[in-house]
Amino acid sequence: MKKTFLIVPLIILLTFLLSGCFKLDISAGVDTDFTAYLTYSIELDITDIDSRYQDIIKNALNRIGWHYQEDYGFIVSLNLEDDPCTLTMTRRVPNSSFEQAFKSLEELLIDENITVFMQVDMAFESVERQNRYLLNAITDIPQVLKLSNVEELSPALFQQFEEAIKTGTGTVTITLPSSEIVTSSHSINMWYNQASMEVPLSYSGQTVLELSGVLNFDRDGTPAGTVDEIIRKQEMFRNYAIIAACAITVIMLIILLVNALRKKRY
């Protein structure tokens, strides 16, 4: 089955065969508002490319942006005036809970029309005030190219293309709400209960990602920190409550004592 995914075959082909510089960054995940998203960011440095071919490349970028906007509902930002030329395309799916968002993310990542992931395995479990999840995914650029029409090139061009693709750069970044990370295939950056894992993108083989974590919730349903942090927070509130109760008791005793002294005077 031929993939309709156009980014990798078309852009890499045009830029590398013409000695351009290509970068593809892929971002996917769930943000703090439980919106699932998938973003492709392309940078092309065509400064050193023959001017006869620059318009061809810019037209290709424009066609890809239009295709993903009109056919798949992506929000597209295109800059063809500066170097490097940039194309950013984002599909966002709002949700009311992390469970819904995780399912929406899975649907984005397995949609053959828009994904560069060749394999995606995701699991989700919800227990009282805690969500547990697992995400395994594999990108395989060589396999994507085989499923496209790139092999219809002449043998000479195809060989040149295979050599040129080895110099491509890019990353895959997965970001998910998380209180605690259980396992990860690469290093994790954590901030405000969000975990982000950035992985170098391979153009010559598979890029394997694995991320599993736990998202805890406070009593009001908002994302919380680790279990230890939640316990410390509860203990802190309990201590504050004890201090407040003691303060109120002292104030009441003082008021009673003052009233008693006034009665003695009269």
Q: pLDDT of 226-245, one tens digit each?
A: 545 655 555 565 555 666 66
Residues with Cβ within 8 Å of 94's Cβ and at least 6 positions away in sequence, in order, are 33, 34, 35
What pLDDT is attached to residue 24?
Answer: 87
* pLDDT tens for each residue of 173-200: 999 999 899 999 999 999 888 999 999 9
Amino acid type, 92: R
CA distance 62 to 6: 12
Do both 158 and 251 map to the same domain? no
Q: Please report, rounded to a whole number, the percentage of residues in the chain having pLDDT higher than 90.
A: 39
pLDDT of residue 197: 97
Residues 199 and 242 in one domain: no
Structurally, the chain folds into a number of domains equal to 2
90 and 195 co-located in one domain: yes
Predicted confidence band at 3 (pLDDT cuts at 50, 70, 90)? very low
Q: pTM (2 decimals)?
A: 0.78
pLDDT beyond 50 at 2 = no
Residues 261 and 212 both lie in one domain: no
Residue 260 is part of which domain span? 226-265
Which whole-number Å values give the CA distances from 43 to 83, 93, 145, 163, 251, in the listed order?
Answer: 9, 25, 19, 20, 67
* Most confident region among 2-16, 22-36, 249-263 by mean pLDDT: 22-36
- Look at residue 4 in the predicted model and tell me its pLDDT: 45
Same-domain check for residues 159 and 58: yes
DSSP secondary structure, 126-182, as one string: EETTEEEEEEEEEEEHHHHHHHTTGGGS-HHHHHHHHHHGGG-EEEEEEEEE-SEEE
My answer on whether 148 and 230 are in the same domain is: no
* Cβ within 8 Å of residue 84, ≥6 positions away: 21, 23, 43, 44, 45, 46
Residue 1 has pLDDT above 50, yes or no: no
For strands 169-177 and 21-30, give the pairing: parallel
Residue 56 has pLDDT above 80, yes or no: no
75-127 pLDDT, tens digit each: 999 998 888 889 999 999 999 999 999 999 999 999 988 988 989 999 999 88
Same domain, 186 and 256: no
The reply to whether 179 and 238 lie within a common domain is no
Using only the alpha carbons of the chain, give its radius of gyration. 27
Write out the two tokens for 63. 């066609």
57 and 182 part of one domain: yes
Q: Please give the pLDDT value at position 96.
A: 92
What does the alpha-carbon distance between residue 144 and residue 24 come to, in Å, rounded to a whole number? 14
